[in-house]
Structure 1
Amino acid sequence: MRRSVLTSEAVSLDLPAVSLITRGATLLLDLFVYGLLLLAMMLLLGAFGAPAAANEAAAAAVMTATVIFCLVVVPVAVETLSRGRSPGKWVFGVRVVRDDGGSIRFRHALLRGLVLILELFTMGMLSVVCALVTRRGKRFGDLVAGTYGVASRHPRMRPMMLPVPPMMSSWTQVADIGRLPEDLAVQTGRLLRTVEQSGRARNMRALEAVAEELAAEVRQYVSPQPPASSPFELLAAVMAERRNREYQRLVSAQHRQQRLLSRLAGA
């Protein structure tokens, strides 16, 4: 589930919100880890806190402080220092961010930690209901703090190495393709990568229909108009030429940087 987020700088970010199952798994793992910490501290208090056990009020105060420390203070500190991560979120590749896509701060982590106690008293049902009715699958703590969970790990994609079709090579040398919108380029790249990986797939007719729609949009942003070709050839030519020009630009920038460093070293 992907959600578009508009930052305070009016930049649209496409952040993938995690599912309810993943959020539940991260919470269970976090509770397990912090529960182990609580158990370890209880055992230490039982071994070295014999004087406090003589006073029931003092023992209750120490136990309450220990529970708050393990279930509120430690999780809040971990999320604050790691900018939205925790043991469970690290395992499942999840990060908590603000509604505008930025990193959370101490106040966000504190609100989430305090509300978590209330959510635990309801056996997690409050979180489940909130996640089901909210647009980004937020739990109740997210609603209070103004945060939500996003996936921080993405599958590594193999670079697309489709060459420029021979019949389009002369056109790509003079074509202006710099006005192609980034979202259109991303959609085109996904389509070509699907075709490259699947070959003659059973749904080739559907892919051809999508390619014709994308090719019609691409023609609006390139100049001069391309020669007669199939939609796949046009899309492959445009994306391959974009890749080649970007590579040349990076190589030129690297050479300029090396020359500058050489001059600075000589000076």
Structure 2
Amino acid sequence: MEQESELVTGEAVVLDVRAAKLASRGLAMIVDVTIQLIALFVAMLVLSQVAAFGDEALALALFLVTLVLIMVGYPVIFETLSRGRTLGKMALGLRVVRTDGGPVRFRHALVRGLAGFFIDFWALGLLGAVAVITSLLSPNGRRVGDYLAGTLVIRERMPAARTPYVGMPPQLAYWASQLDLTRLPNELALAVRQYLSRTSELRPEAVEALGHGLAQQVAATIGAPVPPGVPAWAYLSAVLAERRQRDQAKLQPPVQYGQPPYYPQAVAPAPVTQPVAQPIAQPAAPPEPVPENPFAPPG
């Protein structure tokens, strides 16, 4: 069974998705374990040739290393390179994301892989009993590795429902570029995104009250108060848009600039030009009036 849950993708788009529960995650786990057992069987055939030459201690050491690499390295490598998907999750349409909806990175995949081997499934997990019990008790089907890594497994084959207003207000673009957002926690960012996605559904007084409270929390966290005359929703949109832009910049590969090729060419003589008559200067138009409230209300 799956449970309805609202999450935010790495591109800061709110989706009505389903958190993957025990059934779908169990099927994905079966696919992954089957692949791991096949790889382990092939590794044992290769290592048996080492033991046949009489070096059983070396064969045993290599087997233990191979066992850890297959059982831990397989999910870590796949979830890191594919942003949260192993082969089993690809087959079932699942993906591991952070609790704020952002893509997982190596540290998240490593914590999940180690916790899965030592706690959830194999070493102390009683062949998956710990993972099953934890998943059943969790409202979003999370296991111990998900809690330790701050992740969640979702069903990604779901239609998008609505896009919140998280664009950068042009008036705050330069101001937001100077902010230190490293201390902004994922939980608070998710709460702000959910607030911005529901501004059109709330009464104006509720939008103002909730926005003011969230803005005060964000300001206390990042150390940047709301600029004078800026609505709370615009302040929150600027902070989240800047945070999203920086996260996306980290995921982009660096651009390699090479030396452009040099093609020698003959220098052509400069053409003779005739003097051009200068146009008569026109009087400048009067400046346009500045609106009292330059921020458009959120949609």
Shorter-chain TM-score category?
0.5 to 0.7
Deviation at 1:120, TM superposition (A): 2.1
1:47–1:24 distance in 2 versus 1, CA, 3 Å: same
Q: Which has the higher contact order (CA 8 A, sep 6+)?
A: 2
**Letter aligned with residue 17 of structure 1:** A
**SS of equivalent residue, structure 2 residue 17:** strand
Residue 124 (structure 1) aligned with residue 125 (structure 2): no
**Letter aligned with residue 145 of structure 2:** G
Residue 150 (structure 1) aligned with residue 154 (structure 2): yes
**SS of equivalent residue, structure 1 residue 5:** strand
Q: Is the 8 A contact 1:89 1:95 kept in 2?
A: yes
1:98–1:39 distance in 2 versus 1, CA, 3 Å: same
Q: Is the 8 A contact 1:13 1:101 kept in 2?
A: no
In 2, the alpha carbon distance for the partners of 1:10 and 1:91 equals 25
In 2, the alpha carbon distance for the partners of 1:69 and 1:148 equals 24
In 1, the alpha carbon distance for the partners of 2:59 and 2:93 equals 39
Residue 47 (structure 1) aligned with residue 41 (structure 2): no
Deviation at 1:71, TM superposition (A): 0.8
Q: Is the 8 A contact 1:29 1:87 kept in 2?
A: yes
1:184-223 matched pairs, under 5 angstroms = none
Could you give the per-residue CA deviations for residues 73-124 of structure 1, whole angstroms, max 9, x where no partner exists? 1221111101111111111111111100011100111111111112223121
- More displaced, 8-17 or 123-132? 8-17
1:75–1:8 distance in 2 versus 1, CA, 3 Å: closer
Counterpart of 2:73?
73
Which residue of 15, 18, 36 maps to 1:16? 18
Counterpart of 2:270?
none
Residue 136 (structure 1) aligned with residue 104 (structure 2): no
TM-score, with normalisation over the residues of structure 1? Answer: 0.53
**Letter aligned with residue 130 of structure 1:** T
In 1, the alpha carbon distance for the partners of 2:21 and 2:68 equals 29
Aligned length: 160
Counterpart of 1:171?
none
**Letter aligned with residue 19 of structure 2:** A
Counterpart of 2:222?
none
Deviation at 1:13, TM superposition (A): 4.0
Q: Is the 8 A contact 2:97 2:151 kept in 1?
A: yes
Counterpart of 1:5?
7
Counterpart of 1:111?
111
In 2, the alpha carbon distance for the partners of 1:91 and 1:110 equals 22
**SS of equivalent residue, structure 1 residue 2:** strand
Deviation at 1:125, TM superposition (A): 1.1
**SS of equivalent residue, structure 2 residue 157:** coil
**SS of equivalent residue, structure 1 residue 137:** coil
TM-score, with normalisation over the residues of structure 2? Answer: 0.48
**SS of equivalent residue, structure 2 residue 121:** helix
> Percent of aligned positions with the same letter in both sequences?
39
Deviation at 1:8, TM superposition (A): 9.7
**Letter aligned with residue 82 of structure 1:** S
Deviation at 1:26, TM superposition (A): 0.7
**Letter aligned with residue 70 of structure 2:** C
Deviation at 1:6, TM superposition (A): 6.0
Could you give the per-residue CA deviations for residues 125-177 of structure 1, whole angstroms, max 9, x where no partner exists? 1111111111211011111111111112237x9xxxxxxxxxxxxxxxxxxxx
Q: Is the 8 A contact 1:138 1:149 kept in 2?
A: yes
